[in-house]
Amino acid sequence: MPEGDSLFRAARTLHRALAGKPVVRFETVLAQLSRMDDDAPIAGRTVERVRSVGKHLLIEFSGDLVLRTHLRMAGSWHVYRPGERWQRPRSAMRVVVETADFQAVGFDVPVAEFRTGRELARDPAVARLGPDVLDAGFDEDEAVRRLRERGALAIGDALLDQRALAGIGNVFKNEVCFAERVHPFAPVSALDDSTLLRLVRTARRFLEMNVLESSGGGMVTYTGLRRTTRRGDPSARLWVYGRAGQPCRSCGAPIAREKRGPEARSTYFCPRCQVAPLVGGVPNEVSGTSMA
């Protein structure tokens, strides 16, 4: 699933391509969007802004209309020049927003709906989100407070809860926990506020590293080269994610992989660097030297 950094880069690229320009063609195979277009045509409206909020991408049109999309596992947005050959088959197209200069094509987008600004503000999918990790006004204290509310929940699952922090996905969950030497299955209640704050700050730093101009500027919506280690070698760009059985980059112990939690997502960690949360039924010390 695309994470907050991917959506941020996609929104930035779409904004550069579309913002301030009138729509000359709107096409969709989605009945809900088509009905809106029939009643109040999108063509002729101006794209005012494109932005991301957590894992949601918002295209704002003149006339108080917003297209909200969520990509989930397989969706993507591409930008093309008019007449340029698409890299995906037409059968995968769900939405096209075209200006005189560019086509924005949403492929396999599973969630797409129009909302007015007022409706969007009340839409639970957006209104209940926690602080967006990549927002310029990110409130780290509020993020810590929301994590703290998750008490018995494993910290890894808490970091994935978009109502606590918006934008963190499974890759960053694993990388952040390793960087701060926190066991991903430690309950939030076993961590002090200073540890939660470190996790929040490292999450923000890791995502910011992946939205630099060099990590996907221009008209690139997704580079696929997410990094957390700052190492130049592409094979050494992540600490633990996807590295089950391989040696820890810090201590050499084999990286472990387990599936737990509500969605049983793969969790990667170093059993030596990230101390187990329970020993004899008693919470163990789960925070230590930071890799941040």
- The three-class DSSP label of residue 46 is strand
Has residue 96 got a pLDDT over 60? yes
Buried b (16+ CB within 10 A) or exposed e, 176-214: bbbbbbbbbbbbbebbeeebbbbbbbbbbebbeebbeee
Instruction: Report the C-alpha gap between 100 and 163 in whole angstroms.
Output: 38
Higher pLDDT, 233 or 38: 38
What integer pLDDT is reported at residue 73 of this predicted model? Answer: 81
**162, 105, 88, 70: CA torsion to nearest 10:** 10
Quote the percentage of the chain above a pLDDT of 90: 79
Catalytic site positions: 2-3, 55, 265
What integer pLDDT is reported at residue 54 of this predicted model? Answer: 92
What integer pLDDT is reported at residue 192 of this predicted model? Answer: 94
Residues 6+ away with beta carbon under 8 Å from 165: 130, 131, 133, 143, 146, 147, 159, 200, 203
- The average pLDDT across 26-51 equals 96
Tokens of 231: 């190492």
- The average pLDDT across 61-88 equals 94
What integer pLDDT is reported at residue 184 of this predicted model? Answer: 96
Structural domains of the chain in order of their starting residue, each with its CATH number: 4-127 (3.20.190.10), 140-283 (1.10.8.50)
